[in-house]
Chain A
Amino acid sequence: MNFFAELAGSRMLFFDGGMGTLLQDAGLKPGELPESWNISHPETVLSVHRQYLEAGADFITTNTFGANPLKLHGSPYTAQQLTEAGVRLARQAVEQSGKKAFVALDIGPTGKLLKPLGDLAFETAVDGYKEMVKAGVRAGADCCIIETMSDTSEMKAAVLAVKETCSLPVFVTMVFDERGRLLTGANIPAAVALLEGLGVDAIGLNCGFGPEQMLPLVDELQKCCSTPILVSPNAGLPVVVNGQTMYNVAPDEFAAVMAQIAEKGVWMVGGCCGTTPAHIAAEVEACRKISPRPLPVYHRTVVSSGSCAVVLGDNPVVIGERINPTGKKRFKQALRDGDIDYILNEGVRQQDCGADILDVNVGLPEINEAEMMEKVVSELQGILDLPLQIDTTNMQAMEAALRIYNGKPMINSVNGKQEVMREVFPLAKKYGGVVVALTIDETGIPETAEGRLAIAEKIVRTAEEEYGISRDNLIVDALTMTVSSSPDAADVTLKALSMIRQKLEVKTILGVSNISFGLPRREIINSAFFLLALQAGLDAAIINPASEPMMQSLYAYRVLAQKDAQCTQYIERYSQTTAAPASTAPAASGMTLEDAVRRGLKEETVQQTRTALESAQPLDIINDRLIPALDIVGKGFEKGTIFLPQLLMSAEAAGAAFDLLKEVMQASGTEQQKRGKVVIATVKGDIHDIGKNIVRVLLDNYGFEVIDLGKDVPPEVIVDTVVRENVRLVGLSALMTTTVPSMEETIRQLKAAVDCKVMVGGAVLTQEYADQIGADYYATDAMSSVHYALQVLSPET
């Protein structure tokens, strides 16, 4: 047991207050790095610590908030020097005071936004934090406080850095806005789910507000947090007086509200910006005699994404099963081609259909699953806010996903086999997550409900006793067997489900559709079985949310089981629909395929392509109808009669037709000749990639094989791809003057390595500029890049 586990809750504990304002009073200049004073003015820093110890602080926070290697722009000192010096000073202050107090290594944000929204890679963030933590541990810190955090991903990087470096207690405090959200979007339950999953020792709030404004946030935090809470507000809201930021809440006033906060059941209080030793002394005086209330214990099974939490148990949830290659030819092809967009589309579609969580399985023998898993998880969480369920038997892939995942995921799965529990549980313990437990073990799947209950019991016991994973973080799958081969299959599963829920008090999950294997019209059986399982208390179902009969069962169940107040959700979903879906036969619109493309009507274009297929070959439709239609749109764009959104909508409509034709051709064994490969990328340092994406869509249309490397792409990656794929044309985009040098460097490396043409585009570029940096072609707009690509790669057309 660490010192904190023993101390916490035995009495109120006190953190110190602000450092920056006191250093400024002592002469720190604006713009000067406060941490540099650990080396240049050690006696001042020491004296601040001493004052806080005098005031009664149990924890003093080192002057290392900004001593992160990623943040030290042009400082003469290293992160390691500043951190070591900072911890030593705090240590020294404690020793000189003769008090029993603790040194908290202060760890602040990196000052950069993590990918995909910013340019900082997750592991770079972890490494930066580790540098600080190592130095802090070496110099004698007693615990770590990660504070003023406003991004869940960054918090996770910092916590992992601490946990992978030492076993010191770690506290995390965050800045929420008045809506109870972090700057990057997470609400309080989501942030708490993540941090409790990671097993931090205290969670809390700091900075941002004064104590008064924090009261409602503390309430919200307490509703979901079973971990000790730490609250360190500013001395009020900032006011600027003569260009100086001031905080005006006086010590007594501050302390009075802090006492209210402590009475609510907060175990640790301190102060942030603008608070002084006088504030802390008043706070200690006001709170000292309050005895900490016992922590609430919430038996909640909860997962989270980067923005929200999903609680299992209140209302059955749908886990979308479609991101999975099993039995799906097109999906397997997407995995082999690295076609992430296809997978992202599957994700968005399931969200639109009403999925609450998405299962992610990208296992295919011929690909590197760990790499693919990491990529897919990172891309999915960049565009969706649903929690994910990491579904793999490959432990490298599992860990890669758990590491990068911005929240507390579902983990699919563990079972009763010792070997599997040994692999999965340590990962679940380290990264957090709700683990799906299948009732199968070395002896197979028991035929009786009692047998499945026994395995569930074994898994729960092992998790709790050997790995310290609470049953709240398990969800048991009693396994659906096929009713056509074993007539009592449904009965056994449902009975096992009920027994497991009641006897073990765990949540339950089922993959539903296996029940109907081998039968016609499977959805009829599936939706009926689903309803029975819901009635038996099922908490989560892994289903295809696009299957309307399944969703109908769910929405009806919610109404009938009083889980849909005033039938709101049901009415919202079904009030605008009719029982018989409208016929899918094309309405006679009198529109030609060319019209549909020109007007950018996707569905109409696909319909017209189907009609055209009745009398023409796919290749002829492409060459005689689609391409000419696109040419007309392109020419209109160049003349200024058609504008960018229309150009793109036409391109997307044609793209949908191309997809359909490709399928038809694949089925008949013919293939469209590609015009050649083009690599496109937004250069390193640049994160504005819309121009590049527009070019991608158009090049696609014109039959080029486009390798899109994304944004912020290092020159080496571009060169490697061009060499490996034997590519003759590269398109680069850059938006800002600051990133054009990176474009120039990329061109230099490309020209040195291979014989290829480079076209460039972007807001700040001009012909002259393009010539200067050695580009072969300056594309003024998207269409001109198509013309140049045709000229370079298929000069005969």
Chain B
Amino acid sequence: MFENLNRREVWRYLGYKDNQPDETVCRMIEEMVGMVETAAAPKQVSRRVECKIEDDVIWLGTRQVRSWSLARHLQGCDEAFLFAATLGTGIDRLLQRYNRLQVSRAAVLQAVSAAAVEEWCDQCQKQLEDGLEPGLYLRPRFSPGYGDLPLEFQRPLLESLEAGKRIGIELTDTLLMTPTKSVSAIIGITSDRKSCSVHRCVACTKVDCPFRKE
């Protein structure tokens, strides 16, 4: 599932920027890719809903949320997918182990599994897109907490997906997702193909982020 995981993404998460890790670190990365492959139980859930936008008020099916950045992001979309995906608790158990016993491995595992959950989301998104009627395309994923979309939207978003029951994503009191290697997002459906090619970082206002991609 993750044999083709983009190693450059892993390096980027580890702070290598344009450098290549030495042999020891590369070996550790490969070992961790193997572990993630075994420990991950990737799951996903999505729901296609109608999307209506009026100024900063967005209706996604029956749920309503206010956000200028999401409104901008979904401009021209009459529909959207509500989406959530996770690698499951096995990864967190491994992270917990190495966080206690060997932090270098935890750091690498953290980077590998972060890249893996994105890879899993990309695979899911591709599948969703392939299932669309001809002439429809998907915008990049947009998650609660991006721009001015409140993190509080996590709860209604995950509830309407029944993400707890279906794929095991629950929220802490502080609205963090558990298992930690999980993603929730809104994905706009549009007939304007050009609008889909931007990277999701563009929507983010944290322009000084070390991981930012244009």
Q: Is the CB of B99 within 8 A of A690?
A: yes
CA distance A31 to B156 in the complex (A): 7
Check if B202 is an interface residue, CB within 8 A of chain A.
no
Interface pick from A11-19, A359-367, A691-699: A691-699
Q: Which of A553-607 contact B (CB under 8 A)?
A: 599-601
Check if A736 is an interface residue, CB within 8 A of chain B.
yes
- Which residues in B have their C-beta under 8 angstroms from that of A341? 100-101
CA distance A31 to B145 in the complex (A): 21
Check if B41 is an interface residue, CB within 8 A of chain A.
yes
Known A-B contacts A646-B22, A694-B107; the reply to A687 vs B62 at CB < 8 A is no
Q: Is the CB of B100 within 8 A of A738?
A: no
Q: Is the CB of A645 within 8 A of B164?
A: no
Check if A118 is an interface residue, CB within 8 A of chain B.
yes
For residue A643, give the distance in angstroms from its CB to the closest CB of chain B: 5
Most buried by A among B24, B50, B110: B24
Select which of A109, A185, A245, A383 is within 8 A of B89 by beta carbon.
Answer: A185
CA distance A117 to B108 in the complex (A): 19
CA distance A640 to B15 in the complex (A): 9
Q: Which residues of A contact B (CB under 8 A)?
A: 29-31, 73, 109, 111-113, 116-119, 148, 150, 175, 177, 179, 181, 183-185, 207, 240, 243, 245, 340-341, 344-345, 348, 379, 382-385, 599-601, 640, 643-646, 648-649, 651-652, 685-690, 693-694, 696-697, 735-739, 742
Q: Is the CB of A690 within 8 A of B103?
A: yes
Between-chain CB contacts (< 8 Å), 7 pairs: A31-B62, A31-B156, A184-B168, A344-B101, A643-B25, A652-B102, A735-B176
Known A-B contacts A649-B24, A687-B180, A688-B180; the reply to A736 vs B99 at CB < 8 A is no
Interface 1/0 per residue, B90-134 and A, CB below 8 Å: 101101110111111011101000000000000000000000000
For residue A332, give the distance in angstroms from its CB to the closest CB of chain B: 20
Q: Is the CB of A348 within 8 A of B101?
A: yes
Q: Is the CB of A644 within 8 A of B14?
A: yes
- Which residues in A have their C-beta under 8 angstroms from that of B108? 645
Q: Is the CB of B62 within 8 A of A383?
A: no
Q: Is the CB of B176 within 8 A of A688?
A: yes
Q: Is the CB of A685 within 8 A of B172?
A: yes
CA distance A341 to B98 in the complex (A): 11
Check if B198 is an interface residue, CB within 8 A of chain A.
no
Number of A-B residue pairs at CB separation under 8 A: 167
Interface 1/0 per residue, B61-82 and A, CB below 8 Å: 1110000000000000000000
Q: Is the CB of A383 within 8 A of B96?
A: yes
Check if B173 is an interface residue, CB within 8 A of chain A.
yes
Q: Is the CB of A117 within 8 A of B93?
A: yes
- Which residues in A have their C-beta under 8 angstroms from that of B99? 689-690, 693
Known A-B contacts A183-B89, A690-B99, A693-B103; the reply to A118 vs B15 at CB < 8 A is no
For residue A740, give the distance in angstroms from its CB to the closest CB of chain B: 10
Q: Is the CB of A111 within 8 A of B47?
A: no
CA distance A245 to B96 in the complex (A): 36
Interface 1/0 per residue, B143-166 and A, CB below 8 Å: 001000001000110011010110
CA distance A697 to B156 in the complex (A): 39
For residue A655, give the distance in angstroms from its CB to the closest CB of chain B: 10
Q: Is the CB of A148 within 8 A of B103?
A: no
- Which residues in B have their C-beta under 8 angstroms from that of A243? 47-50, 61-62
Check if B34 is an interface residue, CB within 8 A of chain A.
no
Known A-B contacts A31-B156, A693-B99; the reply to A600 vs B104 at CB < 8 A is yes
Q: By DSSP majority rule, is chain A's interface helix, strand, loop, or mixed?
A: loop
CA distance A87 to B12 in the complex (A): 56
For residue B187, give the distance in angstroms from its CB to the closest CB of chain A: 14
Q: Is the CB of A694 within 8 A of B170?
A: no
- Which residues in B have their C-beta under 8 angstroms from that of A112? 170-172
Check if B188 is an interface residue, CB within 8 A of chain A.
no
CA distance A29 to B145 in the complex (A): 26
Q: Is the CB of A648 within 8 A of B176?
A: no
Select which of B93, B151, B156, B173 is within 8 A of A383 by beta carbon.
Answer: B93
For residue B128, give the distance in angstroms from its CB to the closest CB of chain A: 12
For residue B34, give the distance in angstroms from its CB to the closest CB of chain A: 16
Q: Is the CB of B14 within 8 A of A109?
A: no
CA distance A30 to B155 in the complex (A): 13
- Which residues in A have their C-beta under 8 angstroms from that of B174? 119, 685-686, 736, 738-739, 742
Q: Across the two chains, which residue of chain B brings its CB closest to A71? A: B164
- Which residues in A have their C-beta under 8 angstroms from that of B160? 30-31
Interface 1/0 per residue, B53-64 and A, CB below 8 Å: 000000001110
Check if B4 is an interface residue, CB within 8 A of chain A.
no
Check if B179 is an interface residue, CB within 8 A of chain A.
yes
- Which residues in B have their C-beta under 8 angstroms from that of A685? 172-174, 176
Check if B197 is an interface residue, CB within 8 A of chain A.
no
Q: Which 7 residue pairs across A and B have the least CB separation, nearest first?
A: A183-B168, A685-B174, A648-B104, A383-B97, A119-B172, A30-B62, A113-B178
- Which residues in A have their C-beta under 8 angstroms from that of B16? 643
For residue A75, give the distance in angstroms from its CB to the closest CB of chain B: 13
CA distance A579 to B88 in the complex (A): 42
- Which residues in B have their C-beta under 8 angstroms from that of A111? 164, 170
Check if B175 is an interface residue, CB within 8 A of chain A.
yes
CA distance A708 to B81 in the complex (A): 42
- Which residues in B have their C-beta under 8 angstroms from that of A742? 174
Q: Across the two chains, which residue of chain B brings its CB closest to A385? A: B93
Q: Is the CB of B63 within 8 A of A30?
A: yes
Check if B28 is an interface residue, CB within 8 A of chain A.
yes
Known A-B contacts A184-B89, A688-B176, A688-B180; the reply to A600 vs B168 at CB < 8 A is no
Q: Is the CB of A183 within 8 A of B173?
A: no
Most buried by B among A150, A181, A345: A150
Q: Is the CB of B89 within 8 A of A644?
A: no
Extra A-B contacts (8), CB below 8 Å, given A644-B107, A646-B21, A646-B24: A113-B89, A119-B174, A183-B88, A348-B101, A643-B25, A649-B104, A652-B102, A689-B99
- Which residues in B have their C-beta under 8 angstroms from that of A348? 97, 101
Most buried by B among A118, A685, A694: A118
Q: Is the CB of A652 within 8 A of B145?
A: no
Q: Across the two chains, which residue of chain B brings its CB closest to A73? A: B155
For residue A352, give the distance in angstroms from its CB to the closest CB of chain B: 12
- Which residues in B have their C-beta under 8 angstroms from that of A30? 61-63, 160
- Which residues in A have their C-beta under 8 angstroms from that of B24? 599-601, 646, 649
CA distance A448 to B150 in the complex (A): 74
CA distance A383 to B89 in the complex (A): 11
- Which residues in B have their C-beta under 8 angstroms from that of A738? 151, 174-176
Check if B33 is an interface residue, CB within 8 A of chain A.
no
Known A-B contacts A150-B168, A686-B174; the reply to A185 vs B90 at CB < 8 A is yes
Q: Across the two chains, which residue of chain A brings its CB closest to B94? A: A383
Q: Across the two chains, which residue of chain A brings its CB closest to B168? A: A183
For residue B150, give the distance in angstroms from its CB to the closest CB of chain A: 10
For residue B22, give the distance in angstroms from its CB to the closest CB of chain A: 7
CA distance A383 to B15 in the complex (A): 27
Most buried by A among B21, B41, B93: B93
CA distance A687 to B177 in the complex (A): 10
- Which residues in A have their C-beta under 8 angstroms from that of B185? none
Select which of A73, A150, A645 is within 8 A of B14 by beta carbon.
Answer: A645
CA distance A771 to B107 in the complex (A): 28
- Which residues in B have their C-beta under 8 angstroms from that of A73? 155
Most buried by B among A119, A150, A601, A649: A649
